[in-house]
Each structure stands twice: as structure tokens, then as C-alpha cells.
Amino acid sequence: MLSYRHAFHAGNHADVLKHYVLSLVLDYFNQKPTPYWYIDTHAGAGFYALKDAFSQKNGEFETGIARLIDAQRLSPTLSHFVDNIQSFNEKKLLDFYPGSPKIAERFLRADDKMRLFELHPKDYQLLLENFINAKSRQTKVAQQNGFDGIKACLPPPPRRAVVLIDPPYEVKDDYVLVVDCIKDSLKRFATGTYMIWYPLLQRPEPQQMLQNLQKLNPKNWLNISLTVQSPSENGYGMHGSSVFIINPPYVLPALLNESMPILTELLSLDEAANYQLTSHMT
């Protein structure tokens, strides 16, 4: 299925969690001079206008990134994240929101490389346009299912990589494909840092996927979940999201425990809002 368009959801609470954690991971990778690759299996369009019809239809960014822009009490890492988002906009305005590829691009150094995959034909064309000025040697964009495309990227030549896997989960098969992708990827490149975003829903597949990822017995892992509201009475809809990370930076638990109470308060939609952090670090 290719009906999913991320523009409807750009800048919502799930994007904020995912992109904030991604920023922390990339910042850590930049603390070492050795080059690395950033690989995005489901890159989307890469950049979103918050005033277009897609974003305005549900206005999800208004209860997401918009709540952080004018917030007064932010941790240093949250403040840095907001500054990064604001740099894509005119001062005091919020007209644009960068997807994960554009956020990652800001962190890349001269010798780092980026590999972007997007299967949807319209989003692929937009992705190409958004990276038309990118250095061809540094960034490659492919119209391909990232579950397949990632295989040719692993292991990357510098033996360092951050991989973001966040399919739309339009169909239940995506939950199985994520586990299969990670299982194969760890065989090819066991020391990579793998970030898997997934929704919190009133259905069993997300939790089953998490359990199956943990059964792969990664040496180090972290799972951060943000619930923003009570599950709906009709059983439908997303009440939060999570990011499961294999081989996370060792500093990540402390940074998240410092910032997540603030982020949870800002993105809260009702009294059920909370965050949970679990990890296994050796």
C-alpha cells in the first residue's frame, strides 16, 4: 500500500520524539572524528510546509512542535533541538518542519554520507527536489523499499552508522518486516546503531514487535515511550509513540531522563501523559 503521506502528520508529537532522539544520537556520533553513514529506510519527502493543505488538514503540528517553539523551560538538549527546527524558519515563525533526512543533513560533516530510501512516487520526487543541491558523493536518494535497500549499505565502509527505520505501519506486515530487517542487518553489521520508531496503539502488533526485537538479544538496547493522552474509547488512533534503539550511545539514558519530564509536560493532551524508559546497557 502506498496511501500513506507523512505530510498529514509532520511535526506532531511522534515526530518530535523521534527527531529529538535522532538529534541526540547524531550529536553523539559527531563527538568522534571517524566518519559515519546515516541511513533512512523510509525517508518520506524530507521537508514539509506546515501551511499547505496536508499539514493544515489535521494541524497535528500545533500539539507537537509548536508547543516547544515558545516554551521557556527547556533542557539544554531540548533547547538545541528547537533551535535546529527554528533554523529552517524565519525568526518567530513556524512555517516549515524538517523531516529526518533534513535534520540529519545538519549534523553531517564533510566525510559523512547519507543514504535515503522512499518508495512512494510523489514523496520520492519531493525528496529528490529537497536534496537537489546535496553533494552527490555525500547523499544518495533511491526510489526503493528501504527494507530491501538497506542490505546494500551494510556494513558501511567506515564501520559506523546510524540507521532510522520508521515505516508507516499501514499494514500489519510492517511489524514483521521490521524484525526481519533488524535480524538481517545485525548479521551484516552488528555494531551499527539502529533506531526503530513505532506507534503506541490499542492493538497487539507494536508490543509483539518490541518483544521480538528484544528476543534478537542485542547486547545493548534502549526503549523510550511517550504517551500523550489516554487511549480512545473506540480503540482507534495513536495515543503515543516509542523509539527502540539497538547499540544506543551510553549517554542517552541520562540525557532522556533529564529532558523527558519536560517534553512530556509540553506535549501532554490529558492527565494520562507519561514517559517510560527501559534499557539494557553493558
Q: Which residues are catalytic?
A: 166
Residue 75 and residue 262 in contact, taking contact as beta carbons nearer than 8 Å: yes
Q: Give, for 97, the enclosing helix (H) or strand (E).
A: strand 96-98
Start-to-end C-alpha separation, the chain: 40
Half-sphere exposure of residue 35: CA atoms within 13 angstroms, side-chain side: 11
Those residues with Cβ within 8 angstroms of residue 172's Cβ, 6 or more apart along the chain or in another chain: 205
Q: Give, for 69, the enclosing helix (H) or strand (E).
A: helix 66-69
Question: What is the C-alpha separation between 28 and 208, in angstroms, rounded?
Answer: 30
Residue type at position 221 = W
Would you say the C-alpha torsion 131, 135, 139, 140 has a positive or negative sign? positive
What nine digits make up the cell of 96? Answer: 516549515
Question: What is the C-alpha separation between 33 and 16, in angstroms, rounded?
Answer: 28
Q: Are strands 161-165 and 139-142 parallel, antiparallel or unpaired?
A: unpaired
Chain centre distance of CA 212: 20
What nine digits make up the cell of 260? Answer: 523527558
